[in-house]
Structure 1
Amino acid sequence: MSARPIDILHQTFGYPTFRPHQERIVEAAIGGRDVMAVMPTSAGKSICYQVPALALGGLSLVVSPLISLMSDQVMALRELGVPAACLNSSLGAHEREQLLGDMARGLLAIVYVAPERLDDPAFLDIVRSHGLSLLAVDEAHCISQWGNDFRPSYQRIRDFIEALPTRPPVMALTATATRQVREDIEGTLGLHDPLRVVASFDRPNLSFSVERPANRRAKDESLLAFVREREGKSGIVYCMSRRAVEDVCDMLRENGIAATRYHAGLPAEERERNQADFIYDRAPVMVATNAFGMGIDKSNVSYVAHYNLPLSLENYYQEAGRAGRDGTRAECLLLYSPGDVHTAEFLLSRTERTDLTPEQLQAMREADEQRLRQMVFYATTTDCLRSFILRYFGEEAPAYCGNCGNCLADYEEVDERTNALKVLSCVARVRQHALACGSPATSVGAGSIVDILRGSRAQRVLERGWDELSTYGIMADVPVPRIRALIDELVYREFLTRTQGDYPTLALAGRGVVFMKGDKPFIMRVAKGRPKAPRRERRSRGMAGEDMPDLTPEQAELFERLRALRTELAREQQVPPYLIFNNATLEDMCRKRPATREELLEVSGVGAKKAERYGEAFLQLIAQED
């Protein structure tokens, strides 16, 4: 194998050219320069350290936070013929000694290691004796106190680097990081004049949409319809709690959906079995908490649905980004209800981290509250969803993308000044009423405001005398979802404030007082109906046609046969189907229809090792179609 990066890329990984930014990063690492790279999921971060590791020779280390992430990467590299292994707490004493022995004998090119293992004296001795060609820190945001997944064990990486007799080039890579987090990563790791690469966060193949079901039943119906329309496709449904995972999985199964589940409360054996069923496409739908997915490099996930509100846009974009990793079109749906905000605030307030100091914990909770606030704004905005995400991460973006639920919706601009004044006035009068009665509770939650405005006869309304307020019943003819949306918009524009905690309450803000005294309009965009291209209509061409709009009908039929062959070979080899060839490779195969081994190697994603192992079977099937 040639040591030239482009040849390694082609011969080992089967790609004819580097993706944007990859070549610069690879050349910098080979040249001995540190790298700070922020690249969204599917941008090809692993290639950025795997290619230089093979070009430099010797041993390269990849620090990684999750066992499943390491195992998946190692499995994929071994399929390509690359000698790789991982060192983490899942290994027994014998396996650990064998791995250390292989390192000492120079039999491994890439070793994935958990940050906690860097403290192992035996491991450090071997690395110090044999040298290190490259050190890559994956999921580098874990090192920052300002990141969304801070892990103190990551902060010991610098001690490990400084203990080496010769410092190797150090790479820090992550999918999501704000400017503050990037600066923290560089300082904490002690990077030396790094090449800084911040790739576009845009994933053009992903479409985003938010739906706001009126209640739990409506949310279940929306999710069920969404999953049914994608029958046979691989998808993930994220839930906020273990209970929600159980309920949603049961609901899908009762309606004939082949779903499985994943959360920390399940026995380890069941989690592993369910994860395998999903990876091997035996169960196309995975219902899970956010504990699932970070270590799963499954490339053929066609959709990600969030049943509940994520805790931050970082979490959301990382989780949603697990769809369409192979570059094919994929969909990301968020089902939002205001009750999710209360649940999220409760979860954040109960966060316990024994590995943090009280000061660190308080700083983390304050940062978490701000991230949740931005997540709520995303869920309630009528602006372009893609633009909202990109601007959050500091990237300029057009106001219209034409490929998200908000851009495709038919909106009209409505002046809601009158209704906005009614809401603000109700919040103010509840406070005045409480003060007059000597009640310590001078503010109430959004649910109570809705009840008062709609003239509810609920016991709590009558007992507290809210039925005597001048705002009682003045919005009786306005649907609850519309009032809720108006309250969210008032909070977003900072006319109202919403407290954190188990029982969040609303209060009139200074900007709200100014608005009430003035005469400015309150313009809101209100959806007139369903999106311009409803999901059912977009799917009318069938599964292959929707995901592969550039394929002819004949090519789409060949794709299905190739996919069936891939499944058969995966079962025989006992590997996930996407590790043989991903969907994008099968698509390219359908377009190029290779007839020889040489032509097969020109297909994107087909390297020498895979061509040797699987090429004959795929070439025979293609020949049968000609």
Structure 2
Amino acid sequence: MQELTQLLKDKFGYETFRPGQQALIEKVLAQESALGIMPTGGGKSICYQLPALVIDGLTLVVSPLISLMKDQVDALNEMGIAATFINSSLTGNQINERLQQAARGEFKLVYVAPERFETYGFQQLLKQIPVGLIAVDEAHCISQWGHDFRPSYLKLAEVITHLPQQPAVIALTATATPQVAEDILHCLQIPAQNQIKTGFERKNLAFQVVKEPKDTYLLEYLRVNRGQSGIIYASTRKEVERLFALLQSKQIKVGKYHGGMNEQARSESQEAFLFDQIEVMVATNAFGMGINKSNVRFVIHAQIPGNIESYYQEAGRAGRDGLDSDAILLFAPHDLQIQQFFIDQSELDGAYKQKEYLKLREMSQYGHTQMCLQRYILRYFGEDCPDCGKCSNCLDEREVQDITLDAQKVLSCVKRMGERFGKSLITKVLTGSKDKKVTQWQFETLSTYGLLQSWTQSDVTQLIDFLTAEGYLNPEEGQYPILKISNLGIEVLKSQRKVMRKQAAVKTLVVDDALFERLRRLRSQLAQEQNLPPYLIFSDQTLHELAEKQPQTTLEFLQIKGVGENKLKKYGELFLAELKEA
């Protein structure tokens, strides 16, 4: 072990191993196959790079991305470790030359794409080269339950298990649900007891769900955090281009990255980001895997991604250096339609599409839940943790109200409709709609018909989304899921459990009246100077909320009802100065 710690210090510059690293390395050195599940930034690469220096023979590293291979090989060569890669960016002659060098033992590590294992020539070569270790990076790609399934990974598993020398296999991933982990173990014939999981929790990340107008919030966030490095993800090339143009017009040092750009343009953009020549990268999910930039302070998703695995992997690119960083989702329910369209248009078979719809629904519920956001994500991966105390839900100080009766009305309606319909029709029944589907099924005769007729359909839909996100209702698989009552929901129906929800508190004027008057005087003064009616500057409601919440920063100020980007620019500093004197 002393020798390994010395190698860690001499070659990689670290004094001690991170959680999970030592256990995985010991398994591999004992020639046992192992699966490592560690969060993004958890130091997965060292788990095979260090053993490669000790093990006899070649270490083959299976990696799905060309940019990732080049980054890793450059870093290893910089440390004096002989490594190379073989992928489609090379000519046939270059590939043959590197393979011959590998056969002569000139490299300790060779990075290859999974597709390479499908070629007969490469399979034959593997029988002649002494391979001591095979590292399978992004191992979740092997599972049909994974968010990034690749058939070439399945072929790779088949080839590995038939190699004559049977080298140890180390599989590594940052995003594996229990089901995906089981698949990896099975496909690569790894003993279950050799799964080492360090936990997915990222204590330095503050997760936020923001439902403000996107552009306004984004511009203000970037203004407040000017000089910091960050990534903004969007789902479509069109939205990447739009946001890029918007930020450029505000003199923000911004780059863009998406599949519609040529390789050189993408490469230049990535390089500029890595070298801090630009501060913000606006990109589709084509950007980021294998980017080892440690000082990314924020990752903002301007549109909702398709599943929690992708979201957590992308969000996890913030704060790899362990410093406090933000992971923000700008949540707008209509963005779900984009992801739904991607699934609809995909060439996946029916069963696989159903899985993708299910994952999208879990992601949607992340936007609706009032649970601690870190805890919600970890629960999805089969873990639990205490509330993080720093996400937007943990810091939400809205009043908690007992909504058990309203929840019972919804659950009772689901029950009386036979648990055979989705939220759209349930909403119509509860609000007393005369829609033809309601009458066609004779649901107007139900005792629950119109129970929430004083509510808007939008508010009832949000209540159903909340009950689903909190686990009182279970959606079945499918594009238009039907809702069934969970065991938790049954407890609520039987009045054995209460349902609590954070609500905007309805308050009488328990605000600082003196402060409210001072804000009114400032408003009057500004109105006089500009010859405007005072209410056009800010309404009384806005002043009351300012007096009640007393925001201290421009971002907090922006979240007050009635404050937009323009008014923030014109009046923000003056009102914030007044509030700071309070």
**TM-fit CA distance, 1:368:** 1.6
> SS state of the match for residue 199, structure 2?
coil
Asked if 1:131 corresponds to 2:111, the answer is no
1:527-562 Cα distance to aligned partner (Å, 9 max, x none): 5699x99894999xxxxxxxxxxxxxxxxxxxxxxx
CA, structure 1 residues 15+149, in 2 after alignment: closer, same or farther (shift >3 Å)?
same
The correspondence for 1:313, drawn from 308, 332, 336, is 308
* Deviations 1:10-38 (CA, angstroms, capped at 9, x unpaired): 00100011111111111211121111111
Report the 3-state secondary structure (helix = DSSP H, G, I; strand = E; otherwise coil) of the residue aligned with 1:395: coil
Correspondence 1:287 to 2:267 = no
Match of 2:244 among 243, 249, 267: 249
CA distance in 1, matches of 2:203, 2:334: 31
Does the 8 A contact of 1:139 with 1:173 survive in 2?
A: yes
Separation (CA, whole Å) in 2 of partners of 1:122 and 1:163:
15
Q: Distance between the aligned counterparts of 1:192 and 1:415, measured in 2?
A: 48
Note the 1:207-606 alignment, pairs <5 A.
207-213=206-212, 218-353=213-348, 361-398=349-386, 400-416=387-403, 445=424, 474-475=454-455, 485-492=462-469, 522-526=499-503, 536=553
Deviations 1:554-598 (A, max 9, x none): xxxxxxxxxxxxxxxxxxxxxxxxxxxxxxxxxxxxxxxxxxxxx
The Cα of 1:424 is off from its aligned counterpart by 8.6
How far residue 4 of structure 1 moved from its aligned partner, in angstroms, is 2.2
Does the residue aligned with 1:42 lie in a helix, a strand or coil?
coil
Deviation string, structure 1 residues 177-197 (Cα, Å, up to 9, x no partner):
112111111111122576220
Matched, 1:75 2:74: yes
Distance 2:194 2:414 in 1: 52
Q: Distance in 2 between matches of 1:43 and 1:373?
A: 28
CA positional deviation for 1:344: 2.1
Whether the 8 Å CA contact 2:63–2:114 is kept in 1: the answer is: yes
1:265 Cα deviation (Å)?
A: 2.1
Corresponding residue of 2:101: 102
Structure 1 342/508 Cα, relative in aligned 2: closer, same or farther at 3 Å? farther
Deviates more, 1:218-227 or 1:169-178: 218-227
CA contact under 8 A between 1:34 and 1:194: conserved in structure 2?
no
Q: Is the 8 A contact 1:445 1:505 kept in 2?
A: no
Residue type of the partner of 1:413? V
* 8 Å contact kept, 2:118–2:156: no
Matches of 2:394 and 2:60, distance apart in 1: 44
- Contact kept? 2:61, 2:134, Cα under 8 Å: yes
Question: In 2, are the aligned partners of 1:309 and 1:334 still within 8 Å (CA)?
Answer: yes
- Residues 386 and 527 from structure 1, CA distance in 2 versus in 1: closer, same or farther, beyond 3 angstroms? farther
Give the match's secondary structure for 1:298.
Answer: coil
SS, match of residue 131 in structure 2: coil
Does the aligned pair in 1 maintain the 2:12–2:79 contact within 8 Å?
Answer: yes
- Structure 1 distance, partners of 2:399, 2:327, is 24
Q: What is aligned with 1:16?
A: 15
**What is the alpha-carbon distance in structure 1 between the residues aligned to residue 414 and residue 143 of structure 2?**
39
Q: Residue 45 of structure 1 aligns to a residue in which SS?
A: coil
CA distance in structure 1 between the partners assigned to 2:371 and 2:472 by the alignment:
19
- In the alignment, the residues of structure 1 paired with residue 127 and residue 259 of structure 2 have an alpha-carbon distance, to the nearest angstrom, of 37
Cα pair 1:67 1:295 within 8 Å, conserved: no
In structure 2, the CA distance between the partners of 1:55 and 1:334, relative to structure 1 (3 Å rule), is same
Secondary structure in 2 matching 1:407:
coil
Contact 1:261 1:287 in 2 (8 A): yes
Contact 2:423 2:461 in 1 (8 A): no
1:105-156 CA distance string (max 9 Å, x none): 2211111100111233443444332301111111111111111111111112
2:208 aligned counterpart, secondary structure: strand
- Following the alignment from structure 1 to structure 2, what is the Cα–Cα distance between the partners of residues 152 and 519? 48
Contact 1:22 1:44 in 2 (8 A): yes
- Mark the CA change 1:172 to 1:493 in structure 2 (over 3 Å): closer, same or farther: closer
Deviates more, 1:232-241 or 1:482-491: 482-491
Q: Which moved more, 1:126-135 or 1:69-78?
A: 126-135
Could you tell me how far apart the structure 1 residues matched to 2:395 and 2:425 are?
Answer: 29
Q: Is the 8 A contact 1:208 1:405 kept in 2?
A: yes
Structure 2 segments unaligned to the other structure (5+ residues): 434-448, 506-544, 557-582
2-structure distance, mates of 1:391, 1:513: 21
Over 3 Å counting, the alpha-carbon distance change for 1:446 and 1:74 in structure 2 is farther
Quick check: 2:33–2:190 contact (8 Å CA) kept in 1?
A: yes
In the TM superposition, what is the alpha-carbon distance from 1:240 to its structure 2 partner? 1.6
Matching residue's letter, 2:365: F
SS at match of 2:171: strand
Distance 1:250 1:425 in 2: 50
The AA in structure 2 aligned to 1:298 is: K
- Secondary structure, counterpart of 1:173 in structure 2: strand
Q: Deviations over 1:389-416 (max 9, x none)?
A: 2222122312x22121111121311234
CA gap 1:407/1:91 in 2 versus in 1, 3 angstroms: same
CA contact (8 A) 1:25 1:48 kept: yes
Which position in structure 2 is the counterpart of 1:619? none
Query: What is the Cα deviation at residue 525 of structure 1?
Result: 1.5
- 1:420-463, CA deviations, whole angstroms, 9 ceiling, x for partnerless residues? 6898999999x9xxxxxxxxxx988499969x9799xxxxxxxx
Alpha-carbon contact 2:366-2:469 (below 8 Å) kept: no
- The answer for the alignment partner of 1:164 in structure 2 is 163
Tell me if structure 2 keeps the 8 A contact 1:427–1:506.
no
8 Å Cα contact 1:410-1:527 kept in structure 2:
no
Structure number with the bigger relative contact order (C-alpha 8 A, sep ≥ 6) is 1
Range moving further from structure 2, 146-155 or 267-276: 267-276
Partner of 2:3: 4
Contact (CA 8 Å) 1:299, 1:324: kept in 2 or not?
Answer: yes
TM-score normalised according to structure 2 size: 0.76
- Which SS does the other structure have where 2:394 is aligned? helix
Q: Please state how far the C-alpha of 1:57 moved relative to its aligned partner.
A: 4.3
Amino acid in the other structure paired with 2:334: G
Instruction: Say which SS state the counterpart of residue 195 (structure 2) adopts.
Output: strand
Gaps of 5+ in 1: 354-360, 432-441, 456-468, 540-626
Bigger Cα displacement from structure 2, 364-373 vs 70-79? 364-373
Change in Cα spacing, 1:510 to 1:294, as seen in structure 2 (3 Å) is closer
Q: Give the share of equivalent positions with the same residue, in percent.
A: 42
Task: Please name the residue that 1:464 is paired with.
Answer: none
Q: Give the conservation status (yes or no) of the 8 Å contact 1:428–1:507.
A: no
Q: 1:517 to 1:79 in 2, by over 3 A?
A: closer
Count of residue pairs the alignment pairs up: 504
Whole-angstrom distance in 2 between the partners of 1:96 and 1:15? 34
